Amino acid sequence: MSYLYYPGCSAKSTGKAYEESLLAVFSALQIPTIEIEDWNCCGATAYMSISELKAFALCARNFALAERQSKGTTMIDLIVPCAACYLGLKKALLYLREYPEIRTKVDESLHSAGLKYTGHIRIRHPLDILVNDVGLKKIASLVTHPLDGFRVACYYGCQVIRPYADFDDQHEPSTMDKIVESLGAEVIDWPIKTRCCGGSLTGTVQEYGLRLSYNLLKEAKKRGCNVIATSCSLCQFNLECYQRQMKRRFKDKVNVPVAFFTQLMGMAFGIPSRQLGLHRLLVPLQQPSKTKADVGGHHVYN
């Protein structure tokens, strides 16, 4: 089974490590991925706040390109790792299916550019594919360097599981926990794993945005985690890159490495760190020493 792959804009800049590690892990699992040719931006949240119809049309162009690229396939599975893209594309797909008046307008606009969209497409997040298509058994069988000593806080963020995702629970998601556990790491209990990190607010109204990210980090640290795993490039950026600003603003040193869950998978599979983009992290991710993990933190509700 092969998948089409939609990287999204941030996978080409701040979230480069996500793309690198994702593709490395998928090739280790022998899952072929093909990037959509000439894909365009999904519109994200900003486009939606100016013109909804145009945001849907942007997504529809991607769908049409995907269909053109894989001629004859009855159902195309599109891998979308970025949370905002996942939500945007999924929403567009749903609205195009449910509201004919939107569909006709978008179809007209696509037609003017010689494109056509029929609707044989599914939007899939890597978490969904890894748990439901690949299976945890296969992931566990590939682990050569178990992540002993890692106490991981799995951060799902908002838009991967809310509101349209169908592969996981919206209140208490567990797919990433299961994957990380199968790598030999310990997953800490961290109930705010779907709380908002602030999104683009950290860049616009830092006063509010930083506080949201800081709350997450502080709680994770209190519960004794030594690495946070994320599935979204903006969440990773917010939680990791603003740690110096947080130290200045809240007079508290939070020094927690924040990695993509695919990077952790790659580490457990024994893929060289350069291929996983581990050198791109601002807070270096290292093998935690055994004693430190034993001393650090305590379970609160377990």
Partner 1 sequence: MEKWKGWPKLQFESELDPNFARQIASIPGGDKLYDCIQCGTCSGMCPLSPCMDYTPRQIVAMIRAGFRKEVLSSSTTWLCSSCYSCTVECPKEIRLTDIMYAAKRLAIREGVYPKKFPIPVLANEFFKAVERSGRNTESWLTVRLFLKTNPIQLFKMMSLGLRLWLRGRLSPKRESIKNKAELHSILKTLEKEYMVKPKRQLGLAGKETP
User: Which positions touch partner 1 (CB under 8 A)?
Assistant: 9-10, 12-17, 38-41, 43-54, 57-58, 61, 95, 98-99, 102, 105-106, 108-110, 112-115, 158-159, 162-163, 170-171, 195-196, 198-201, 203-205, 207-208, 212, 241-242, 244-245, 279-282
**Helix (H) / strand (E) containing 261:** helix 261-269
Looking at residue 37, the DSSP 8-state letter turns out to be T
Q: Whole-angstrom Cα distance, residue 184 to residue 194?
A: 23
Q: In the complex with partner 1, which residue's Cβ is closer, 15 or 266?
A: 15
Instruction: Work out the number of other CB atoms within 10 angstroms of the CB of residue 279.
Output: 9
Say if CB 263 and CB 248 are below 8 A apart: no
The residue (of 31 and 216) whose beta carbon lies closer to partner 1 is: 216
Which one, 198 or 266, has the nearer CB to partner 1? 198
Q: Minimal distance in Å, beta carbon 278 to partner 1? A: 10
The nearest distance, CB 124 to partner 1, in angstroms, is 19
Instruction: Name which of 82 and 183 has its Cβ closer to partner 1.
Output: 82
Q: Where are the beta strands (DSSP E) in 132-285?
A: 151-155, 186-187, 227-230, 258-260
Q: Which is nearer to partner 1, 183 or 227 (CB)?
A: 227
CA angle 157, 141, 285 (to 5 degrees): 45
- In the complex, what is the shortest distance from the CB of residue 45 to partner 1, in angstroms, rounded to a whole number? 5
Q: How far is the CB of 205 from partner 1 (least distance, A)?
A: 7
Q: Where are the beta strands (DSSP E) in the chain?
A: 3-5, 33-35, 76-79, 121-124, 151-155, 186-187, 227-230, 258-260
Minimum CB separation from partner 1 for residue 125, in Å?
15
